[in-house]
Amino acid sequence: MSRASGPRSGDAIFASVERVNAELFTLTYGAIVRQLLTDLEEVEEVNKQLDQMGYNIGIRLIDEFLAKSNVSRCVDFKETADMIAKVGFKMFLGVTASVTNWDADGTCCSIVLEDNPLVDFVELPDTCQGLYYCNILSGVIRGALEMVSMKTEVTWTRDMLRGDDAFELQVKLLKQVPEEYPYKDDD
């Protein structure tokens, strides 16, 4: 395939990769959250650990994303956010997300999930009200973007498990780390 053919659609990539049943994924994630709740006891600590796991995944997952998506350097943060929502979520989780709520200078936006495979069968008990159940996702985005020189802050602004009407992640660009010599894209 020629490198010039432009980014592939998330649907096309998802159709071409090996897939597994989403319930295995969902239940495994649930098992992880339960283990963390048992081990760490404090909900805040669980949030932190989930974010850390996501970060670990993000810094590895970006390689596969770049290799399979044919995406080259994004011109700005807007394009980056679009790629995460349209290609990233689709190729890994098979779901679509949309980007909204841009601020005036284009450094902060919201990614709204239209479907979230992590939360099937899940209901937060009263004892876990402070838990960001899907916090692993925010870690993944933060980690992946850090590998393409973007420092971001990712926070949950809406969470259906907490009674909101959608899952919404706010992604804020803190700083774009300049590219260091001699690394340049392989063009």
Partner 1 sequence: MKIKQYSNVLDKPLSKGKQEVSLSAFSFLFSELVQYNQTQVDNIAELERRLEDAGYSIGARVLELLCHREKGNRRETRLLGILSFVHSTVWKVLFGKVADSLEKGTENEDEYMISEKELLVNRFISIPKDMGTFNCGAFVAGIVRGVLDSAGFPAVVTAHFVPVEGQQRPRTTILIKFAEEVLRREARLG
Q: Which one of 32, 37, 66, 147 is in contact with partner 1 (CB under 8 A)? A: 32
Between the alpha carbon of residue 161 and those of residues 25, 32, 44, 86, 179, the distances in Å are 18, 17, 16, 23, 39
Does position 59 interact with partner 1 (CB under 8 A)? The reply is no
Q: Which stretch binds partner 1 (CB under 8 A): 28-36, 74-82, 126-134, 147-155?
A: 28-36
CA distance 159 to 108: 18
Does position 25 interact with partner 1 (CB under 8 A)? The reply is yes
Q: Give, in degrees to the nearest 5, the angle at Cα 4 between 75 and 175.
A: 20
Residue 83, classed as helix, strand or coil, is: helix
Between the alpha carbon of residue 177 and those of residues 116, 129, 182, the distances in Å are 31, 36, 15
Q: Which stretch binds partner 1 (CB under 8 A): 55-63, 103-111, 148-156, 175-183?
A: 55-63
Q: Which one of 47, 49, 69, 138 is in contact with partner 1 (CB under 8 A)? A: 49
- Residues lying near partner 1 in the complex (CB under 8 A) are found at 14, 17-25, 27-32, 34-36, 39, 49, 53, 56-57, 60-61, 64, 91-94, 114-117, 120-123, 136, 160, 165-166
